Amino acid sequence: QWYQRRVGATTEVNSPILCSRYSFDGKYIAFGCSNGDIKIFYTQTYNHVYTLTPDEGKKLPVTCIRFKHNEGKDLYVLTATYSSGHVRFWYVTSKQLGKEIKEGVELFCCDFNYNFSKFATGGDDYKIRIYDVERMTRLNMLSKGESFERMDGHASRVFAVKYHPDNEHVLLSCGWDNTIQIWDDREGHAIRRIFGAHVCGDALDMDPVYYHVLTGSWRRDNALQVWDFDSGRLIKNVPLQIQNSTDKKVCHLYCAKWAGTDFIACGGSDNNAMRIIEKSSIQTIGTLDGLNRGCYTLDYIEINNVPHVTCASGSNVYFMSLNV
């Protein structure tokens, strides 16, 4: 059984939460807020321990967070994108801002490749930007070609990017144009595409074992889907309705993630809920219902072999774990 603990963080988090991420060892979890702050919680006690605040006049929302493996004095380094167009590297425990980049567009998402040599961002100009991590310089800009006969790039906003778990050059992206674009980050245009996903948040993931692609779409029907990466075919539509439930509302998804090898975690709006779904039976086995606002973000990690899922609704944080 899954059990949950709510942190009503009205004093620690005084702004709606838009994104979240665990550190690699599960010691910390970071929450990006609409007021530009990043709140860091210590997972052993659920206490708020650090706040990362940019030194600028008008602070705009944090849209995506990713932790980076780091060696040296400060092991906990995260990268965050902002709707202001900034990409910022933060040293968490010292609360120091490292390198930063300013782009002239709203940025909504980011991801590192598996060896942390590069990272990618996506935003409101339909383009994917590739950066060198050490130099913090742009290596490439990926976009749709000029041909109207071939959709080799995005035609609308990009809300999710995900690097392949084993290939340092291959990444996926999706957004409002109902496509999953597949890129080689050394090329200028997408190398192929999968049609069918309407993604509005951090709702793109890839299984590192079978390379199955998970998407969560903001729509009523067929919102949660699993795709085969190699062929591009749809493997299955995962139902969001709870078996024998009388609730007719369906969750329009903003976030979705593979939760280890056994589960899928997803959340969204309309019925303002988060679901944990067993992969083998595709049945909902854990729920967090009746939230005051939509669930815009969640993350998963195993700590001491115990699965944990954290999500946020408004300025409230929820921690769930498998009772083993």
| Percentage above 70 pLDDT, the chain | 92
CA dihedral 118, 123, 127, 132 (to 10 degrees): -20
Residue 294: the pLDDT is: 95
Residue 10 has pLDDT above 60, yes or no: no
DSSP reduced 3-state for 306: strand
Residue with token string 């779409």: 217
Q: What average pLDDT does this structure show over 37-41?
A: 95
**Can you give the pTM of this predicted structure?**
0.94
Residue 202: the pLDDT is: 98
User: pLDDT, tens digit, for every residue of 93-115?
Assistant: 999 999 999 999 999 999 999 99
**C-alpha dist (Å) from residue 64 to 43, 68, 150, 189, 212:** 20, 13, 30, 24, 23
User: pLDDT, tens digit, for every residue of 145-181?
Assistant: 887 777 899 999 999 999 999 999 999 999 999 999 9
Residue 308: the pLDDT is: 87
Residue 182: the pLDDT is: 98
Residue 245: the pLDDT is: 60
| CA torsion through residues 12, 17, 19, 22, sign | positive
Q: Please check whether residue 38 is in contact with residue 82, taking contact to mean a CB–CB distance below 8 angstroms.
A: no
Q: What average pLDDT does this structure show over 237-261?
A: 83
Closest CA to 274 of 292, 248, 301: 292
